[in-house]
Structure 1
Amino acid sequence: MSEAASAKAWNFLGSYPPGVRFDMPLPAGPVQDILSRTARDHPDRVALEFNGAAISYGELQALVLKAATGFRALGVGPGVHVGLYLPNCPHYVIAFFGVLTAGGTVVNYSPLDAARVLEHKVEDSETDILVTLDLKLLYPQMAALLGRTRLKRLVVGNLGDFSPEPETVAAFLKAAGQTADVPDDDRHLPFRRLLDNAGNLVPHAVPDPAATIAVLQYTGGTTGLPKGAMLSHGNLTAAQAQLLELCSGDAPLFEIGAERILAVLPLFHIYALSVNMLLGIAIAARLVLQPKFEAEAALQTLTAARITFFPGVPTMYAGLLNHPAMARADLTSLKFCGTGGAPLPVELADRFQRLTGCRLTEGWGMTETTATGTFTPARGPVKPGSCGVPVPHARLKFVDVADPGREVGFGERGELCIAGPNVMKGYWKKPAANAEAFTADGYFRTGDVAWMDGDGYVHIVDRTKDMILCGGFNVYPRVIEEVIYEHPAIAEVTVIGIHDDYRGQAPKAFVTLKPGAETVTLAAMQDFLKSRLGKHEMIAALEVRAELPKTPVGKLSKKELVEEEEARRHP
């Protein structure tokens, strides 16, 4: 890149709100310092709200110290990996900070993982102890791995553990057939018994937070089995601080101790862990925990709890907008709604702002970048189709997809590469994958095709692996998806490439319809698209479905659709 182009690449600094610093100081301590500092300064503020029960920051810190003491008695310390197989509930937050305070490493597990993926993660991550609940949806999956994998012990909680009447809640869940029978033996420990101590453990010192792994966060596994991204204490604290800085400056968005966050994104996902939990705790917010997204329940919570901050993904906002109660819901308390994890359709963002008065701003990040990378400044302009400007301390460059050693010109499309304190240490036990994932000068290759405009705003075009090669043209599914979202009948859309004898590949769209909408034919959709897309981008097939596959965090997923199409070709 020329010196002039390099200078242009730093134009994003002019898009920062006044007072926001690119080179702001980074936190020096471990992740658990975020909670201990807030508990010290705001002990009486409510930290967690769950099923009508509230836990203050002072109480939360005391519970974490008890959990850490209990974990240490189980042998948890440096080098010991503890799995968390939990929905959004107090157990997750307590166990997460408890493991780190004891000196261990957290391994996040998704309750939606298939059995073979769970077994792979246990063996690959070297998980010896795992925390879960006695729900039939969770406990049996991990109980099946005891004895035939390296998993040695389960710490098992109940959803009623932190309610005013835990025995009553446990009995109700049992009578409803929702909980499993858990043996009383040396391989099982009730979560409440883990906490049955004085909590007098001296927290483990972390001499080098930037190098010490805090979390093994497995990637989505869009191809093959998932890989574990090694996220250090420094990665996690930097990510939280980067986001907070962009929301600060001369006119801070957040009021310390006054915010209410709807935490319905699963905390086992890096986006929610960084944004909902770590950022939320850093600003002494009230985290209203919900285990699962359902549009009606979310709307009720948004209004009744007077939520001010709602981080979500596009499918969640689409679900809210398509709910009949959305038009009359009082959402005037909302001051900030951020979205990430998947591209944000422009039409969806516009509808949300018209209905709520709160703008929906987009950011970009990955598991490997601790969920941060770019972010639309809270007080800055919103550019349709952009995911914002680089976060503080993040260094971006764009390289030729076919030749990653060559940077493309400023404003040209290329593979987005990133370096900074939020970028992972590498993949766990995967030296070959690490060699491919990083450039010679240490930038992580994201696999996203993107470009930067003159104001420093980044525009993600698509994933390199999702690109459709159509008669010699590169066709980007996101371009087609954005236009299909403009159709008044469409609720959700996913576009993939399917085999075409003449062109090699052709685009196929899978859609769901808005409530009450009439079905859409291929011919009608092609007629709608013909003035909006190039001929090479025109869809060759359309399939209307009741629902589309999604990832555990609620992102639309192409993987299952690609596999279905391949199975049709090769039955």
Structure 2
Amino acid sequence: MMVAPPDTLVPTADGPPLPYHTDTDGRQVFPPRLLTDLIDKAVTHWADRIAVDYFGRCWTYREIGALVDRAARGMQDAGLMPGDRFGLCTGNSPYHIVLYFAALKNGLVVVNLNPLYTPSELEHLLKDAGVRMVAVPEVRFVHEKFQEVARKAGVEKLLLCRMKEILPFGLNIGFRLLRRADHIRITDKALHLELTDLLANAGDPAPVARQPDDVAVLQYTGGTTGLPKGAMLTHASLAANSAQMVAHAGGYMATQQRTLGVLPMFHVFALTCVLNYAIDTGSELVLLPRFEMDKLLAAIKRKPPTQFFGVPTMFNAINQLPANKVPDLSRVICCISGGAPLPLEVRQAFEERTGARVVEGYGLSEASPIITCNPLFGLVKDNSCGPAFPGTIIEIRDPENPARLMPQGERGEVMARGPQLMKGYWQKPAETEATFYNGALRTGDIGYLDEDGYLFLVDRIKDLILRGGYNVYPRVIEDAAYHHPEVKEAIAIGIPDDYLGQVPKLFVALVPGSSLTTAALAEHLATLINKLEMPVEIEIRDSLPKTMIGKLSKKELVEEERAKRG
């Protein structure tokens, strides 16, 4: 599938210099930058553009830049020093953007924190990172967890961000009067610092010496194979991935673009595509705190987006809407799915129903995160996550003998080289060494490259099911399940078997109103996969476990099955 690029793409002369150039060999080069260069450029070139829309309340780039400077000065006055770790758990709000760039301007290291972490998970991460200050919202279920663990984790201050400062008047009144059960209860006043007090200055931060190779963000991985590890993403690596996204889109555009910011910005996919890339291109960010369908549809109607980044479950949820509720997304130029494989049926249905073209990309936290993506305006190959991202090299190597490059078309471990790779894992040199081979990042995924350099993923190495000595890839089973029109979600895992070692089990959630039986689904699967791949059990559930960004999660099901068997 191919489409033409929009006629709004413009040459460099009509805007600020592009963050990349082409060398004499025709290769795109991405010079190192500080992440704060992104916001400084936006304030300089697009000061009067709307930068952020939060439920209809808007801030221009000039206003956001001024708040960044005041927050940076306040952090200095509060005693934070270059290299200190600053926790950020303010959700998709203007606070996240302002405090992110203010911390980076001071040479701090931002630690992104998921508000759904349990208190014990938060305590571990805060201790591991050595966080001195954490910004938290005036939301009880988030605030009370941090208040519980902060002292134990060595946190000196909770920076309290009040909702009344960012909500429009009507929503502000509603929050204060109608949601009293959500109001926070401060039991340790000495622990808290009000953001309004932090901002009470002239906005004249002292200059701080920084280098592009400095660590900018500690992005903790999911922890599916043990305790989460902090990927050290530098200014250069994150800024490079944003610049690669600019190159992937073809440059700047003559008209301001509008990004629908529904993916949580503490997640690395949104960190680059929703936050950094939007600022890098002077786009308007329409922020939503979480994925709620009614609020999503209202935001799309109020401010039709031209850029939409999501995960497969979001696109699938839109597919399930009644015809009269499906949003018109025909204005969307850049629509990318990431975080998990995008089933072909989900992509086709989304494109047919909404009028938007969605392409699949692929990445991981350790790569800031994107390493491949189907072209926005070129050839999209079904079930592929696309060719290498600009400035990136993809290698397929033998996972048992990484010195051996696999021939084109043969499966092996996917490895990547490029300016977007992490510096390593925070305080974990052994794990860092094991994650790289001769400078290439080992992804832990199995895949192959076709004759055009398009990457096709087969599965995660750690998810591989070893059935009687044969390799069974869960994704093959899941893709077969998605071929059935009544299957909404599918997860395949390996479960223990005394004779074969492991056998596949399939969990599915069905579309509303479906009466599909496990026997009928098994008959369907038998026409698409071989006997080794056939699940020995199929379990139908109302819903399947998901991560905060809506990505289907296997680890809960694996733990359930392990507990069942003692």
TM-score w.r.t. length of structure 2: 0.93
What is the CA-CA distance between 1:198 and the residue it aligns to? 0.5
CA contact (8 A) 1:320 1:326 kept: no
Task: Work out the CA distance in 2 between the residues paired with 1:76 and 1:218.
Answer: 22
The answer for the alignment partner of 2:155 in structure 1 is: 151
Deviations 1:378-435 (CA, angstroms, capped at 9, x unpaired): 1111101110111122122111122223222222100011121100000000011112
Amino acid of the residue matched to residue 264 of structure 2? P
8 Å CA contact 2:242–2:273 kept in 1: the answer is yes
1:48 — aligned with what?
52
Residue equivalent to 1:487: 484
Alignment match of 2:42 (pick from 26, 38, 44): 38
1:82-121 alignment runs, 5 A limit? 82-121=86-125
CA distance in 1, matches of 2:321, 2:41: 40
Match of 1:235 in 2: 237
Letter in 2 for 1:291: P
Structure 1 gaps of 5+ residues are 1-16
Shift in alpha-carbon separation, 1:256–1:163, aligned structure 2, 3 A: farther
Give yes or no for contact 2:273–2:309 (8 Å, CA) kept in 1. yes
**CA deviations over 1:131-180 (Å, ceiling 9, x no partner):** 00121111111111232221110100122212354995486267532121
Aligned-partner residue type, residue 440 of structure 2 = Y
**Cα separation, 1, equivalents of 2:169 and 2:518:** 56
Cα distance in 2 for partners of 1:145, 1:289 equals: 29
List per-residue Cα deviations over 1:203-232 (Å, max 9, x = no partner).
4232x30x2000001001112110000000
* Aligned equivalent of 1:525: 521
Q: In structure 1, what is the Cα distance between the partners aligned to 2:324 and 2:28?
A: 39
* Partners of 2:175 and 2:362 in 1: CA distance: 43
| Alpha carbons 2:491, 2:507 under 8 Å: kept | yes
After superposition, what is the alpha-carbon deviation per residue over 1:351-387, rounded to whole angstroms, capped at 9, x for unaligned?
1111122221011110000011001111111101110
Number of residue-to-residue matches in the alignment: 545
Q: Does 1:499 align with 2:496?
A: yes
Mapping 1:548-559, distance limit 5 Å: 548-559=544-555
Task: Compare 157-166 and 259-268 and name the one that shifted more.
Answer: 157-166
Q: Deviations over 1:330-351 (max 9, x none)?
A: 3222222100110110110111
What does residue 135 of structure 1 align with?
A: 139
Give the letter for the 1:483 counterpart. A
Aligned-residue RMSD, C-alpha: 1.9
- 1:183 deviates by 5.6
Matches within 5 A, 1:258-297: 258-297=256-295
Tell me if the contact between 1:34 and 1:281 (Cα under 8 Å) persists in the aligned partners. Answer: yes
Correspondence 1:462 to 2:442: no
Equivalent of 1:564, from 538, 560, 564?
A: 560
Report the counterpart of residue 12 of structure 1 in structure 2: none
Is the contact made by 2:159 and 2:194 (CA closer than 8 Å) also made in structure 1?
yes
What's the counterpart of residue 16 of structure 2? none
Cα distance, 1:257 vs. partner?
5.0
Secondary structure at the counterpart of residue 396 of structure 1:
strand
Partner of 1:395: 393
Aligned with 1:160: secondary structure?
Answer: helix
Partner Cα distance (2:491, 2:175) in 1:
43
8 Å CA contact 2:435, 2:442 repeated in 1:
yes
Name the aligned partner's letter for residue 104 of structure 2: L
Letter in 2 for 1:188: H
CA change 1:86–1:328 in 2 (3 A) is: closer
C-alpha contact 2:331 2:356 (8 A) present in aligned 1: no
Aligned to 2:336: 338
Q: Is the 8 A contact 2:123 2:150 kept in 1?
A: no
**What is the CA–CA distance in structure 2 between the aligned matches of 1:336 and 1:532, rounded to whole Å?**
33
Matched letter for residue 419 of structure 1: R
Match of 1:67 among 66, 71, 74: 71
Which residue matches 1:414?
412
Distance 1:74 1:466, change over 3 A: same
Q: Is the 8 A contact 2:318 2:326 kept in 1?
A: no
Distance in 1 of aligned mates of 2:163 and 2:209:
32
Cα distance, 1:72–1:169 mapped onto 2, change above 3 Å = farther
Identity of aligned residues (%): 39
- In the alignment, residue 377 of structure 1 is paired with which amino acid? P
Q: AA paired with 2:493?
A: I
Residue 346 of structure 2 is matched in structure 1 by 348
Q: Is the 8 A contact 2:311 2:340 kept in 1?
A: yes
Give the direction of change, closer, same or farther, for the CA distance of 1:359–1:93 in structure 2 (3 Å limit).
Answer: same
Structure 1 residues 35, 345: CA separation in 2 closer, same or farther (over 3 Å shift)? same
Alignment pair present for 1:25 and 2:29: yes
Q: Distance in 1 between matches of 2:142 and 2:303?
A: 29
**Distance (Å, rounded) in 2 between the aligned partners of 1:174 and 1:360:** 39
* 1:199-214 matched pairs, under 5 angstroms: 199-206=203-210, 208-209=211-212, 211-214=213-216
Preserved CA contact (<8 Å) 1:510 1:545 = yes
What residue number does 1:10 align with? none
The residue identity in structure 1 corresponding to 2:350 is F
Q: In the aligned structure 2, how far is the partner of 1:460 from the partner of 1:203?
A: 46
From 453, 471, 485, the equivalent of 2:468 is: 471
Alpha-carbon distance, 1:567 to partner: 0.4
Name the counterpart of 1:544: 540
Aligned to 1:193: 197
Which of 209, 213, 222 aligns to 1:220? It is 222
Equivalent residue letter for 2:43: A
What's the offset of the Cα at 1:193? 1.6
Q: TM-score, normalised by structure 1?
A: 0.92
Residue 454 of structure 1: CA displacement? 0.5
Quick check: 1:256–1:285 contact (8 Å CA) kept in 2?
A: no
Change (3 A) 1:70 1:173: farther
Q: 1 CA distance for matches of 2:267 and 2:413?
A: 24
Contact 1:212 1:233 in 2 (8 A): yes
Q: What is the alpha-carbon distance in structure 1 between the residues aligned to residue 90 and residue 280 of structure 2?
A: 22
Any idea what SS the aligned residue of 2:203 has?
A: coil
